Amino acid sequence: MKQTALDKKFDKIRAMEEAGQLKPAKGSRALRKLMANRLAMVGLVIFSVILLMSIFAPLITEHDPQKINLRAMLKPPSWDHLLGTDRTGRDVFARILYGGRISILVGLGSALMAAVIGVGIGCYTGYKGGWIDTLALRISEIFMSFPQIILVLLLVSIAGQSLMNLIIIFVLTGWAPMYRMARAKMLSLREEEYVQALRSFGVPTVKICYKHILPNALGPIMVNITLSTAMFILAEAGLSFLGLGVPLSVPTWGNILNVAQDLRVLQNNWWLWLPVGSVISLFVLSVNFIGDGLRDSTDPTLQG
């Protein structure tokens, strides 16, 4: 029978293995697969660059993002102002760097807090079951029955505009999907043999949930955190664009983009909206690329 190219490749690998030329790979298999994902690595580089530039903004630019200079209003990009100035003479480049701190804090902070609450409740109630599981499930269904953006707009109009209010509102509207995902994983994992063995040895419920079962469900949770981060950053930008997010006095990517409501700005002052729009798009894309890479590297059904 004629050998195919695949058969020849397997024979070559078998010969190398018998000769002792193949060495077992070291380190985490998921990490190696993540690093082999080019899009995920590109996303990680873009994410790191934008994050570090925002953190070290005082070392990158000498301009104050809040300083008004009426003599330099609507100046196009130049050596003094790399991305020009806005209507009150504030440096756009400095506002993008400092605004990244707030926008990333809102997105990543809200996603992490929502994950802590949702996963914490989902792990315990999913493992425990009974009335407490039913109660938590019904509460999550109430939050998920409303479109998230409508619920966010309603709560913002009631609570008022502030950075802390926006983070709390994002957490309140974002914990339910995390809870349901953690609960679903817990329902499938609690019947595993090692869990039955732990229960038979009298290990406390809390220890079984958070020490022994939760680490086996971290893969999809990490993916969900990255996707939630991108979603919250876009939500903050959208709300601030409408004037309902963080107060306009605080520099955020959404507040900088707020000036794009004016048609004359769109036509004549591209530096007021194009750079910050590009930064938002790049950052959200990078987070999504990282999330896709984490999903592919942690999903056991995709391991090859």
- Mapping DSSP onto H, E and C, the string for 217-232 reads HHHHHHHHHHHHHHHH
Calpha distance 294→221 (Å, rounded): 10
Angle at 290 between CA 25 and CA 124, to 5 degrees: 90
The count of other CB atoms within 10 Å of the CB of residue 146 is 12
Among the residue ranges 11-20, 118-127, 162-171, 270-279, the one predicted with the least confidence is 11-20
The count of other CB atoms within 10 Å of the CB of residue 102 is 22
Domains and CATH numbers, the chain: 27-60+90-302 (1.10.3720.10)
Write out pLDDT tens, residues 133-147: 889 989 988 888 888
DSSP reduced 3-state for 91: strand
* Placement of tokens 């969900």 in the chain: 224
Angle at 239 between CA 237 and CA 243, to 5 degrees: 110
Q: What is the pTM (predicted TM-score) of this model?
A: 0.80
Residue 251: HSE in the Cβ half-sphere, 13 Å Cα cutoff: 20
Question: Is residue 267 a contact partner of residue 84, using CB atoms and an 8 Å limit?
Answer: no
Which phi and psi (to 5°) does residue 181 adopt?
Answer: -65, -45
pLDDT exceeding 90 applies to what percent of the chain? Answer: 11
Calpha distance 113→178 (Å, rounded): 10
On the question of pLDDT at 304 being above 60, the answer is no
Write out pLDDT tens, residues 178-236: 898 888 888 888 888 888 888 888 888 888 888 888 888 777 888 888 888 888 888 88
Report, as an integer, the average pLDDT of 26-32. Answer: 65
